[in-house]
Structure 1
Amino acid sequence: MDGGRGPSEQPIFTTRAHVFQIDPSTKKNWVPASKQAVTVSYFYDVTRNSYRVISVDGAKVIINSSITPNMTFTKTSQKFGQWADSRANTVFGLGFSSEQQLTKFAEKFQEVKEAARLARDKSQDKVETSSGHSQASSVNGTDDEKAAHAGPGDAHLKSENDKLKIALTQSAANVKKWEVELQTLRESNARLSAALQESAAGAEQWKRQFSACRDENDRLRGKIDELEQQCSEASREKEKSAQLERRIEALEAELRERETELRDLRKQSELIPQLMSECAFVSEKLEAAERDNQTLEDKVRALKTDMEESRYRQSRLKGELKSFLEVLDGKIDDLHHFRRGLSQLGADH
């Protein structure tokens, strides 16, 4: 469903908003026409020179409002605006996500409203011109006869008059179509009113449920705070436990080292009797060695004494030998002299 748009209608501005309609019973409360933000567009009909605001939610037309010069768009808050449509017998409200979108829609509404006023003034001028032309035709002859004798200006007026007749015919057809749409909208409004009453009853139930949920939420928040506190304490205890575990691991490692050392000492203690026996044997050998050493020292002292005596005797012998050698040298010299004397004596004889 396209909201009754004809092939000559074109979108000139599009935005998104939450659509509301005034409650027909109270004329005060707003009734949501869409569950979520929907597309809202301005359409311009080239043939009719008219403007409409149209919004469709799925296959349902929720806005079909023709803009007239006497309409006014009012900003009721920073993100909400409304306008009254007497033909649809309702008030439309739009909720935007930002103030900028609301401002743009309001500016475009003012532009479209001014364009509709200009189109209306131009249409009225055409109707008045066409009416004067018809009166002149009734005085001076039929339209066909006038067209046969009239100039180019009269022919243009006749063409405009024909276009106006066609537009009026289309307008009559559109009025019938709009009446059908209006009846459909009224039926939809009645269904929406019934749905609103059901929604009001459901809203009360939802309020009670919301209150219960809020109380439950408060209780759960208290429980969550308590659990968070417990979790914090558990975290601290966990950290302490981790520190104790690390300390225990260090102590266990140290204990294992001590046990290893103890095993080594036990093994060494098993060797102590053997070592003591060996030590006694070594002590005996040491005592014997000391005795031998003492004996050797005595022998060394005796040898030293003998050596000194030997040195003394050797020194005396060297002196005596030296004296003997000196005497011997004298004797040898005397013997040489004696041999030379014998040799000389032999030579003389």
Structure 2
Amino acid sequence: MTCVFLSFGINLCQLERNNFLCCFVYFGETKQPIFSTRAHVFQIDPNTKKNWVPTSKHAVTVSYFYDSTRNVYRIISLDGSKAIINSTITPNMTFTKTSQKFGQWADSRANTVYGLGFSSESNLAKFADKFAEFKEAARLAKEKSQEKMELTSTPSQESAPGDLQSPLTSESINGTDDERVTPDTPQHTEARAEPSQNALPFSHSSSNINKHWEAELAALKGNNAKLTAALLESTANVKQWKQQLAAYQEEAERLHKRVTELECVSGQTTVIKSQKTELNQTIEELESALKAKEEELERLKAEVESANEFQSQKDTLTLKLQDSESRNETLEAQLSDLERRLESSQHEREDFRKSLRSLLELLDSKIFELTELRDTLAKLLEGS
């Protein structure tokens, strides 16, 4: 990470060496992100320009930040203390969705192409919408900055045609940072014709420069206070880490003593090896005996299972026999009842036959009497 030295003597690299996260401190930049999401970060392979190279082993936080001093929007992502994305959004950038969960954009200043893999389509859509929104805001900010720079830097129309903008502008004071917006005006190549012609623009530019420096100084003071607090917190963390280091050193000394004791015990390795050989032989004998016992146990288990099977068959047959006996008793009772009923019906039949015989005999006698009566009546009829 590029070391940032402030005018108040605080070195951010020193804070980084103390393992305090002071990455991405920009003059006037807000602390809180405007929008954050989680994604897997990739960069295009610089050699092949085709394959994607993952820059994070897992999903990391990717955030949009606003740099109020430079009036630009940034995409920033950290993997631990390592900056894996630090991209400034410019109006000519384009975020492209290459799949349902993957998007990419090219950063010419970083000379790379960033790719983000999201967990859902909605996260990708939100990130793309924010990219388009901040891209448009960057375009508007660039136009406003160009208008402002033209008003503060362009000389009066009454000046001679050869007199161009004054070199004492905010751009010349702060350097040609490619994150600042530079108006499309030619450089001053000729000496001024007359000092009196540029007196008014020069004084006006000096006033703007003073205001700009006052704003820069106020921002630097604020950042200096923040970094001082961060340095104090880092110092406290260093004390804590020193305590942890002392504890680790004590643990290392204890382990070293333990290793020494084990080395002293190593002289008895011959006896231990012989005992180990005897124990191994005993273990093998016990294992063979255990194997034999296990085989015997398996055989007994098989016999027990067969006996249990026979017992279950016996119980089944016993139940069937009992059922058969109960049904046989029922049938015998039914047979006895039928025999009794048959005998009773036979007696009733004999009685009925006897009754019929007696009725036939009585009928025969009556028929005989009627025959005699008829004959008598016929005789009487013939005699009359």
Q: Give the TM-score normalised by structure 2.
A: 0.40
Higher relative contact order (CA 8 A, sep 6+): 2
Bigger Rg, which one: 1
Which has a greater percent of helix?
1
Q: Give the TM-score normalised by structure 1.
A: 0.43
